[in-house]
Each structure stands twice: as C-alpha cells, then as structure tokens.
Chain A
Amino acid sequence: MITREHDVIIVGGGLAGLRAAVGLCEKYDVALISKVHPLRSHSIAAQGGINAALGNNPDSADDSWEKHAFDTIKGSDYLADQDAVEIMCREATGIVYEMEHWGCPFSRFSDGSIAQRPFGGAGYPRTCYSADLTGHVLLNTLFEKAASLGVKIYPEWHVLALAIHENTCHGVAAFDLMNGELVSLVAKATLFATGGYGRVYFYSTNALINTGSGIGMAYKAGVPLKDMEFVQFHPTGLIGTNILMTEACRGEGGYLINAKGERFMEKYAPKAMELAPRDIVSRSIQTEIDEGRCLEHPLGNYIRLDLMHLGEKKILEKLPGIRKICIDFIGIDPVAEPIPIMPCQHYSMGGIDTDAATATEVQGFFAAGECACVSVHGGNRLGGNSLLETIVFGKIAAASIDTYLSVTASTRDKDICLSTARAVEIKIEGLLAGGHEKTFQLHGELAKTMSTYVGIFREQGDVKKAMEEIEALKKRYRNVGVSSPSLTMNYELMNAIELGYMFDVAHSIAYGALLREESRGAHSRTDFPKRDDEKWLKHSIARVTGTGVPDISYRDVTVTRYKPMERTY
C-alpha cells in the first residue's frame, strides 16, 4: 500500500477546510483532501449571507459585535458557549473585510459599502450578501486564494477512516477514486472540515454528499460528539426536491401564507413574524400543516412562500438564483406565483466536540465548520452564522494547528496509519464479496425513520421506535454487498462505506433526543414542552461504546454576560 506523509492533512474542501489551508500552506506541507472537487463542496449552496456587525445599513448604525453575540446566544436558546460566541462575533467584521480584500464580490449599497440585509432572529440588518449566491462567491474567493498560493489538493479522494491510537491522531486512510487505490496518509496534525449530516434525513436541503461520514468516523475512532440531538430544520425547502429557498426570501420581505390566506406567523411570533429564528418558524409551519391549514400537491402538503408583492425588479435583483431554481425545478415563477414550501432538515448544530480553538480531546486532531460543535449555535443556529463560523473557525484552526506543531514533538506513526488502512481494505473486500442487502435500501429506511420519528416534533415513544429501527438496520448493514468490482469511480462502494458511519450519526442524534427531557431550540419534545435550565442547561457528550449505543454524559454551558431568559420574538 502507498503511504504519503504531510505535516498537515485537511479533510474537506469547503469554506472551513480551504480557509485553514490558506492559513497554513505557506509554512507547512499541507494536503487538502476532498471527496469532490473543492468547488463542488456544499458551502457553494449557501444563499442568504454572512453576519457581521459592519453597521453599513442605515438602520444598523449602532450595531456592534456584542449585539450580534446577544442575538446568537438568544437564538441558540442559551445552549451556546458564550465565550466562543464572543470570539466568533468579534472576528466577524475582520473576516468579511478580509474576504472582500481577497476579491469576494459582495453586493453593494449606493455608498459603495458592502450591502447588508435583515435576517431571522437578528436585531439589526447585519447579513452581508451577494444576491442569493453568497456561499458561491465566498467559496470561489477562497478557492481562488488557495489557487494563488498553490495549495496541494487531492480532489475526489474519500477519507474512509481516522487513525487514532492512545489519544493521538496519526493520519487517515483515504481512497483515491480516480485511480481506485487505497492510500495511507500520515500527518502531524489532521483537521476535519467534513460538513454536516443532512442525508441522514429523508427531507433535507443538503447536497447528496452530506452524509456526515466525517462525524461518524471521528466518533468511531473515539472522539466524542456534542449536542447531536440539535438538528436544524429550515422553514422553507421547496416541496419535492427540498431545495433550499433562502431565508433572504423573508429577509427581503416575503410572506408565509397558509391555505386560509393568513400570514400565520402572527400567532407564533407577533413581533418578528416571518423573521423569527428558524426553529420557531419551522415549528409554526409544521403546526399549520399538521392541523390541516396547508395546501395539497402530489409532492406533499405545503405552505406558500409569497414573494409576489416584492415586484419583479426586486426579485430579479436580490433573489435571481431562487427564481431560476423555482422555474427549473418546479415550473413556477415566483414573480407570478407563490412558492410551495415545507420545513426540511438543513443544518447540524451538533458535531465533533471541540473547544473554541478547534481542538478536540485527541492530540493532533482538530475539527471546524459544520462537522464540529464548538458550540456557537447551541440549540438553534441563526441564518447567516454558518458561513461566518466556517471561515472564522477555519482561520482559528490554522492558528491553533500552527501553535500545536510548534510546541509538540511529532508523534506520527506510519504503522498505525497502515493498520487503519488495512482494516479499511478488509472492509472493502467484504463489501465486494457481496451480501444481499443494498446500500440505497438501508439508507432510504434510515432516512425515513429519522424524518418520521426524530423530526421537528419529538416524543419518547417515537424516538424509541427510531432507536430500535436504527439498531435493526445496523444488523442488516453487516450483510451489505456492492455489485461493482471495479475500484475506479465506484460510487456504490463509497456510499456503502459511508452508510456505516451514517448509522452512528443517526444513533447519537436519536439517543441524545431521547435522553434530553425538555424543549430547547430545535429540540422540541411534545411530552416535555418547556425549557428546563435547572436540569438541562448542559451540552450532551456522546462517546462510542462496545454495545453500539452511545454513552452520553453532560457538560455545563459556559455563560459569560448573557443570563438565560425567556425567549420570545
């Protein structure tokens, strides 16, 4: 087997991974490994914007990073670690200016400054954007920066296992898809920036590549996960394909309308209306659907996202991508018709347990972006804060790894990586030998189970059903087979391996949801409808065990200056 050595391995070519690579590549031998070309990463699909208290909007002249931090903490339902939120919000303005200096084509106000729009749960219009393609422009800018610095990239390499021995990370085992080869990669430091787990759910706005395998891999290798029960459902996914309809639709003034023609948010968030935080808007929409005030379509019951009153000019100027998606994917022009939407899984608040410096409890192993849980989003993330998190913590990861490498003697061990890779080799041989179970079937059943029983509203009996179902699927997974023996571009094989990790991700979400007997942020228990700070102002920490069921313990939330209070909008 081929072994390659680098100082630093970065897994994931989205915003967090690229930002870290840019920060490290001039000083270290860095390899960025990505299972798709970096520009195909899911960061590209982010639409609405990135939050920073620039104060460019005339309505936000007295905005400040402290107010941004307060909104983020309140939005998190007080589960976010306040010291970490303060770091993120303080860094935000510098990060946006840096991206602008590197060429990011933000939309502009008439005075030539970066344009900012209102977003959900925010007291001020502080979301910087480029029409409705903000992820696209940020990812292109960071890729351009990386290209200008000559960052070494392994595109279409799938990392399949993490090599951790005695609490130290030595590298990864990766599969070079184009050449059909398993490679052992050794490094002094490894950063995971592998993104979220949307595809664990049936209804998700996420790209097909968002399996959460990175989170599962870390967990399997012994790294704890944090707050996995907190799953964000975006209020407005297009019915059928579940493609994201950005929060900017509402930020620019769009309405949510039920079958009776009512702007029903009046009942649920009379002040913020459509711009309440996502957990609240999603629950409101789901309630309208569950209580029958929805419209019917062969693709499913829906609520209307109405942009017509914004007028053609504003839609073409501010939401051109949304309009094009609606025309291409459902044959509706939002200028003339309302958009049929439903809430869909959208974001992973939980993830690999890290501190505010992106470090995990394993030496030499770091995580940043959606796969990580710092936690800056707590129980519910505000729109515009995910792009911010990826770049801020990608940058911090670079600084943190630099410090780690300058003070820690190298402990990387080729043999440990090789034995990890050998284990993957055996797994691949087993899959190729064939079994009667099919990956797509088990994946479909898992995703339906999660959407049905661990969705927007949760209840003890349902979540227990999900747990049983996941355990049964895990057993069936042992008999999964792959039909294609070719190793080149064998996506069936990659999907089969990733599915194994998806079960662990799902298990940790469901078990966390079962144990947390309260409602906080996106975790809404119908049998425990109140937030309970006395018992549950705590992070859940999930660790792998021999039984397959995670071991879950709890850790206090860091509170600095913002005391938990009732959350109304």
Chain B
Amino acid sequence: MIRASAYTFKILRFDRKKPQEKARFQTYRVKVIPGLTVLAVLNRIRDEIDGTLSFRSSCRSAVCGSCAMVMNGKIDLACRTQVASFGKESIILEPLPNMEIIKDLVVDMTPFWTMYEKVKPWLIRSTPDPEKEIPQSEKDRSRIDQFVNCILCACCYGACPVISRDPGYLGPAALAKLERFVLDSRDERPHAWLNDVNDEHGVWGCDTVLRCIEACPKDVRPTDAIIDLRKRIFVDKVKKLFGKQR
C-alpha cells in the first residue's frame, strides 16, 4: 500500500494585467503519494482546486525546459523534482527570478531569447560544404558534449546574480551556447567576433560564483565556458601584439 502524505504548497500569484493587485502567496493543501513530482502536483492543483493557476509545462521528462521555477529557494525543473525530496511538508513555489512575471509562475523570457540570438548561435563556416558530412573526430565531438546538453530552460539565467544588477549582461546560457560553437571543430567564425563579448556585458561580467552551475538541471557548466572564452580573448590579444592573429 502506498500512503499519501499531506503537503502545503504556497504558490506566488500575480497577474501583470492587474498591477494594482500585489504579488501574494496562495496556500493549497494537497495529499501526495511518494514519487510524485512538483509538476504533477501543479497539474492537480490547476485541475482540481484552482483553474486560475498558470505555469508552463510540456514534456514532463526534463528535456523540453518549460517548467523551470524556484522550489523552496532552489532553482530546478518542476517535472524532475520530487515533492518528497525536500524532506518537509511545506513547499514554496516562485517564478524564475531576473525576468518579469506575466502570470503566477510564468515569466516573460523575451530577454533570455534576445541574449541567445545575440551570440549568433548557429554553425558558421567559410569553407564550402563537402558532399557528405564534415568529418569530426570522436574526441572533437566529445569536447562540446556538455554544452550540447543545454536545454535553454533558463535556470542559470534565473540564478545569475549579475543579471539582477545588469539586465544587459548576456548571461550564462548565451555564453555557454557561444562556447558550444567556438569549441566545435567545424565552426569557422572569425576570432575577431569574440570582441562582441569582450566587455562587461559579456565574458567580463561574470562574478564566477558558480550559481549557474549549481542551478543547471543538465550538468552544464557555463562558468567553464565563460573562463575559456576569456582565455581565448586573452590569447588572441597576445597573438595580436606579436602580429600573429589570423
């Protein structure tokens, strides 16, 4: 027999269309069986208790990146977080920080996608494509592994302390995406393009406090990307001094 336990969910409620009504926490009492995820509970609350509750979800298997939020102070995907994992019966749910709330747990991710597009997140080649695949060694392919795994859920963007004081900062996800292409043996973007991120809104903005790494549900390490990009920029500068830049 599986026994259900009672939990109290306190969920942040807000509607951008009604700015006069301040954000508040609403309490829901729910009985939960072990193994149930926060997303499953949210679905139940919306279905059975309160249809006005808004949150995003899709794959419910931690691959689509829809349901990032703050659960008892920790940023993660609601679909892969078990209710029992907190070890307490009171659970507070809040939307991702650093973005404007549209409604309840749904935030406006437009700034996040704007930063993503700024780094030109696509393969850039100058050599004409071969008839078959562009060869890539297993070793070269494995170098981009962790950055390929990024699901753009914005957990890192929500956790980043730099974005909260500088909304113009590119943020960990965009810089990790840039690194995914810079590290790709097939990418041929000119080195000079790294100048676009060679400032305080780019790689030099990072505090290297590793909050992004802690928040990532996919084990991506954006700080590694940022430090590597800094190195590349530095090495480029040195080469330039000695007249060796390509």
Alpha-carbon gap, A208 to B106, bound state (A): 17
Q: Which of B43-81 contact A (CB under 8 A)?
A: 43, 46-48, 50-52, 54-66, 80
Contacts of A106 in B (CB 8 A): 133, 141
The stretch of A142-150, A213-221, A406-414 that contacts the partner chain: A142-150
Alpha-carbon gap, A44 to B61, bound state (A): 11
Q: Which of A166-218 contact B (CB under 8 A)?
A: 178, 180, 207-209
Q: Which of B58, B80, B122, B184 contacts A105 (CB 8 A)?
A: B184
Assuming A105-B141, A483-B52, is B134 touching A489 (CB within 8 A)?
no
- Give the Cβ gap from B240 to chain A, nearest Cβ, in Å: 28
Q: Is the CB of A483 within 8 A of B51?
A: yes
Alpha-carbon gap, A54 to B56, bound state (A): 39
Q: Is the CB of B59 within 8 A of A40?
A: yes
Assuming A147-B121, A328-B80, A484-B52, is B58 touching A36 (CB within 8 A)?
yes
Contacts of A208 in B (CB 8 A): 43, 57-60
Q: Does A333 contact B (CB under 8 A)?
A: no
Q: Is the CB of A440 within 8 A of B48?
A: yes
Assuming A240-B35, A440-B48, is B59 touching A44 (CB within 8 A)?
yes
Q: Which of A39, A108, A109 contacts B64 (CB 8 A)?
A: A39
Q: Which of A40, A109, A244 contacts B61 (CB 8 A)?
A: A244
A467-508 vs B, Cβ < 8 Å mask (1 yes, 0 no): 000000000000000111010111110000000000000000
Q: Is the CB of A207 within 8 A of B141?
A: no
Q: Which of A322-370 contact B (CB under 8 A)?
A: 324-325, 328-330
* Closest B residue to A115 using CB positions: B138
Q: Does A419 contact B (CB under 8 A)?
A: no
Q: Is the CB of B144 within 8 A of A105?
A: yes
Contacts of B62 in A (CB 8 A): 324-325, 328-329
Assuming A103-B186, A328-B80, is B133 touching A113 (CB within 8 A)?
yes
- Give the Cβ gap from A13 to chain B, nearest Cβ, in Å: 12
* Closest A residue to B48 using CB positions: A440
Assuming A109-B138, A147-B122, is B61 touching A486 (CB within 8 A)?
no
Q: Is the CB of A491 within 8 A of B61?
A: no
Interface centre among B48, B141, B186 (most CB of A within 10 A): B141
Q: Which of A79-95 contact B (CB under 8 A)?
A: none
The stretch of B148-156, B206-214, B223-231 that contacts the partner chain: B148-156
- Give the Cβ gap from B198 to chain A, nearest Cβ, in Å: 22
The stretch of A129-137, A260-268, A274-282, A390-398 that contacts the partner chain: A129-137
* Closest A residue to B217 using CB positions: A328
* Closest B residue to A324 using CB positions: B62
A123-159 vs B, Cβ < 8 Å mask (1 yes, 0 no): 0000000100100110010001101100000000000
Q: Is the CB of A178 within 8 A of B102?
A: yes
Q: Is the CB of A488 within 8 A of B66?
A: no
Q: Which of B91-129 contact A (CB under 8 A)?
A: 102-104, 106, 108-109, 113, 116-117, 120-123, 125, 129
- Give the Cβ gap from A337 to chain B, nearest Cβ, in Å: 16
Q: Is the CB of A207 within 8 A of B144?
A: no
Q: Does A42 contact B (CB under 8 A)?
A: yes
Complex A-B: 24 CB contacts under 8 Å:
A37-B113, A97-B133, A105-B144, A105-B184, A106-B133, A112-B135, A113-B132, A133-B63, A136-B151, A137-B148, A144-B123, A145-B122, A147-B117, A207-B64, A329-B80, A438-B47, A486-B15, A486-B52, A486-B103, A489-B54, A489-B102, A489-B106, A491-B46, A491-B54
Closest 3 CB pairs of A and B: A103-B123, A112-B135, A440-B47
